[in-house]
Amino acid sequence: MESVRTAFGAGASVEADTVVAAQAACRQAENTCAGPVDLAVVFVSPHHAEQLDEAAAVVRECFAPRVLLGCTGEGIIGGEQELERQPAVTVWVARIPGVVLTPFHVSFQRTAEGLGVDGWPDDMPVDPTPVFVLLAEPFSTPGTEFLSFLEQRVPGALAVGGMASGGRGPGQNRLLLDGVVVEEGVVGVALTGDVRVVTVVSQGCRPIGERFLITKAEENIIYELGGRPAFTCLQEMYAALSPEEQEMARRGLHLGVTINEAKAEFERGDFLVRGLMGADQNEGSLAIGDLVNEGQTVQFHLRDRETASEDFHWLLETQRRQLEGVQPEAALLFSCNGRGRRLFGRPHHDVTAVRAHLGGLPISGFFAQGEIGPVGGENFLHGFTASVAIFCRPLDRSSPGGNRVVP
């Protein structure tokens, strides 16, 4: 008997009625993945937030998935389209035999000892190391602390996903796990077994000027770079820019912080990009949107639509070449809600880029209020980023490294 192969499908609809939209999206997904599936994901625009359970019921009736995840998104990505500021539903399904799926919903509480995490599965696999797909509610989830918790519990595991969006306050976003809709915490699934998952995380920036070593800092405040006032280094870097680059810097300047100081040379992907939050000319200091340590290497970065586009295309093509003949079969795409038309001035940029480099894959996703993805082998919560999980054809069981998820 022929073994069951992997299969994926995706569909999207802009129908205003939630049930009708979910049914239409499911019909499209069935074209390449009919019948019972292992994992299903549904993303809905805020227009459908109150009826997310109805969309879930349609997906469960159509595909009977072992695990069903979902959330609300300010904009929805499905098939070949990025559906912004309109009613939309997308459904993504996967038949991945040989893969263990461990779903969970965790919530958080502050205790005297620190962050308390409720709902973490006792049977979470750790060997082989799983890959996580995470959907989080931004107003109730301490994202960076949860990713630190994840690293403690499952060292070396890679995570990809996004923060639900569209809600303007607590209780307005929705998360879905199987048939249950919740308003807080994180829902997710760990995948362990015979599938290969690779990631692309595009922070959309390019480095400018020289690199500096942090020689004096406290928490997120940098006082000295290379033994000189940090603000002086910023002024000199700015003065050396072209007029066009100076205008870009005035609109938004960022600082890239190296992930691994042991590397002999730093290149694209070795920097965690964080926003420059402020400067104190009298004190000579700079404030950035993350904690830093003395001894880290940093470099100023610029972001604009051309840079963001070029970076995403370059990373996708680089990943494609590194697949060594392994065939990409599907993708989940989590783009910042500051991208899309807001950044690029035209629709469908990110999903079109993925398809241009990886082929006509079944793709679903949403515009997030924060994106989760690995940089330098560590998981981070990002902004202004596109984070992609690419599902590839299972490895040959007879080959080294077969029968496992490969991040």
pLDDT tens-place string over residues 320-336 = 999 877 889 999 999 99
Residue 407 has pLDDT above 70, yes or no: no
pLDDT-derived band at 271 (thresholds 50, 70, 90) equals: confident
Say whether 403 sits in a helix, a strand or coil.
coil
Task: Enter the pTM of the model.
Answer: 0.90
pLDDT at 406 over 50: no
Minimal CA–CA distance to 71: which of 49, 54, 38, 47?
A: 49
Confidence of residue 401 (pLDDT cuts 50, 70, 90): very low
C-alpha 348 chain-centroid distance: 17
- What is the structure's pLDDT at 397? 43
Return the pLDDT at 269. Answer: 67
Band (367; pLDDT cuts 50, 70, 90): very high
Higher-confidence position of 276 and 399: 276
Say what the pLDDT of residue 6 is.
85
d(CA 390, CA 154): 21
Stretch 297-308: mean pLDDT: 91
**What local confidence, expressed as pLDDT, does residue 400 receive?**
36
Q: Is 336 helix (H, G, I), strand (E, B) or coil?
A: strand
Q: What rounded mean pLDDT belongs to the chain?
A: 91
Chain-centroid distance, C-alpha 114: 26
**pLDDT digit string, tens, across residues 128-163:** 999 999 999 999 999 999 999 999 999 999 999 999
Helix axes of 18-30 and 52-63: crossing angle, nearest 10 degrees = 30
The CA distance from 163 to 186, in Å, is: 9
- DSSP line for 60-108: HHHH--SEEEEEE-SEEEETTEEEESS--EEEEEEE-TTEEEEEEEEEE
Task: Over range 226-250, report the average pLDDT.
Answer: 93
- Say what the pLDDT of residue 325 is: 75
Contact 149, 117 (CB under 8 A): yes
Question: What pLDDT sits at residue 324?
Answer: 78
Length of the chain: 407
C-alpha dist (Å) from residue 370 to 65, 168, 281, 302: 27, 14, 31, 19
Poorest-pLDDT segment among 71-75, 221-225, 259-263, 390-394: 259-263
The pLDDT of 285-294, averaged and rounded, is: 93
**pLDDT tens digits, 368-380:** 999 999 998 899 9
pLDDT at 404: 38
- Cβ–Cβ < 8 Å for 310, 302: no
Which pairs with CB-CB distance under 8 Å and at least 24 residues apart come from 304-310?
304/248, 304/251, 305/343, 305/344, 305/345, 307/204, 307/205, 307/206, 308/202, 308/204, 308/205, 308/339, 308/343, 308/344, 308/384, 309/344, 309/349, 309/353, 310/206
Locus of tokens 């000189």: 228
Per DSSP bridges, beta strands 285-288 and 271-280 are: antiparallel
In angstroms, rounded to a whole number, what is the distance separating the alpha carbons of residues 267 and 277?
Answer: 24
| pLDDT reported for residue 303 | 87
Percent over 70 (pLDDT), the chain: 93
- Which residues touch 44 (CB under 8 Å, ≥6 apart)? 18, 51, 52, 55, 70, 72, 73, 76, 88, 89, 90, 174
List, in order of start, the domains of the chain with CATH numbers: 7-202+308-392 (no CATH), 206-302 (2.40.30)
Whole-number pLDDT of residue 258: 87
Phi-psi sector, 201: left (phi>0), alpha (psi -120 to 50), beta: beta
262 pLDDT higher than 70: no
- pLDDT tens-place string over residues 338-364: 999 999 999 999 999 999 999 999 999
pLDDT at 2: 41
Burial 231-248 (b: 16+ CB within 10 A, else e): bebbeebbeebeeebeeb
pLDDT at res. 264: 58
DSSP string, 25-42: HHHHHHTTS-S--SEEEE
**pLDDT of the residue at 4:** 61
Q: Which residue has the higher pLDDT, 110 or 268?
A: 110
Greater confidence (191 vs 196) lies with 191
Decide if pLDDT at 313 tops 50: yes
Contacts of 12 (CB under 8 A, 6+ apart): 25, 28, 76, 78, 79, 81, 83, 88, 89, 90, 91, 364
